[in-house]
Structure 1
Amino acid sequence: MFLKPNNIRIISKWTSREISSCTIFYNKNSNHWRELGHNPNSFGPLTNLPDYTYMDGRPTPLGCNMKKRLDKQKEIAKKIVDLNKELAFAKDRHIRLQKEKSELIEKQVAAQLKPKGHLLK
């Protein structure tokens, strides 16, 4: 990995008596310095697939945390569907309110006073 100059910061650490110094170069985009370590077990075939399979085709039982993971994914899917329904409802309501507002304005314009007399012909 090549370090670009804008991704490098220099940290100088001085002791209290300034006898020695230590300069550290690090990449600020690195997970180590952001304390966001990459978890290789969060997703992938080792996590999502069963540990073993039966030769006769029987389904394998769920792993130790597979049931929790599936339940969590179902809850996330339900939340996405609910939020999508709310978004569609909000869009429809906004369109309906705009139509009602334009109809009200047209009704008010049509209900204004009309000129009298010979101008009616």
Structure 2
Amino acid sequence: MNVFRGLVLRLPRLDVITHRAIATTVPNSAGEKWRLQHGKARCGNEYGPLTDLPDWSYVDGRPAPLNRGQVRRIEERKQLAEQIREGISDLQFAIANHEYRTKKQQDERQAIKDSKFKPKRRSNKNTRT
């Protein structure tokens, strides 16, 4: 039954952690801050001529077919443009609605003021005889 009699199990000590095992810095892209300050993409391959333009073209000048990444980026940009368009129309509707409600409230307040305060009747002194 003692099959494991001569076998010594050697495991590394788990209580000792080497210096390289723990990362104490935050991962960040090299040059990301500079690119953002200069109006460029967050990382170098998000957009730009190297990403957006085709890799090759035909000799006779015809454009090359788009690859999958380019088609995906075009679709993403179309969806983003549609979301922006919807957001702008919602914002314009909200502004117009707010202006309408504000004007309506002012008109109601003015109507209440006009109904409360009526001018006094001036007695006409010339009508006495």
Instruction: Sort the TM-score into its range (normalised by shorter chain).
Output: 0.5 to 0.7
Larger Rg: 2
After the TM superposition, which parts of structure 1 deviate over 3 Å for at least 4 consecutive aligned residues? none
Higher strand share goes to which structure? 1
Could you state the TM-score of these two structures normalised by the residue count of structure 1? 0.64
1:40 aligned partner: 44
Among the aligned pairs, what percent are the same residue? 29
Task: Tell me how far 1:37 sits from its aligned partner.
Answer: 2.3
1:84 aligns with 2:88: yes
Deviations 1:62-97 (A, max 9, x none): 013111111001101100111011111111111111
1:59 aligns with 2:63: yes
Instruction: Give RMSD over aligned pairs.
Output: 3.0
Alignment of 1:1-80 (within 5 A): 33-37=25-29, 39-80=43-84
Could you state the TM-score of these two structures normalised by the residue count of structure 2? 0.60
1:120 aligned partner: 121
Q: Aligned pairs, how many?
A: 95
Unaligned 5+ segments in structure 2 are 1-14, 31-42, 123-129
- Which amino acid in structure 2 is aligned with residue 62 of structure 1? L
Unaligned 5+ segments in structure 1 are 1-15, 27-32
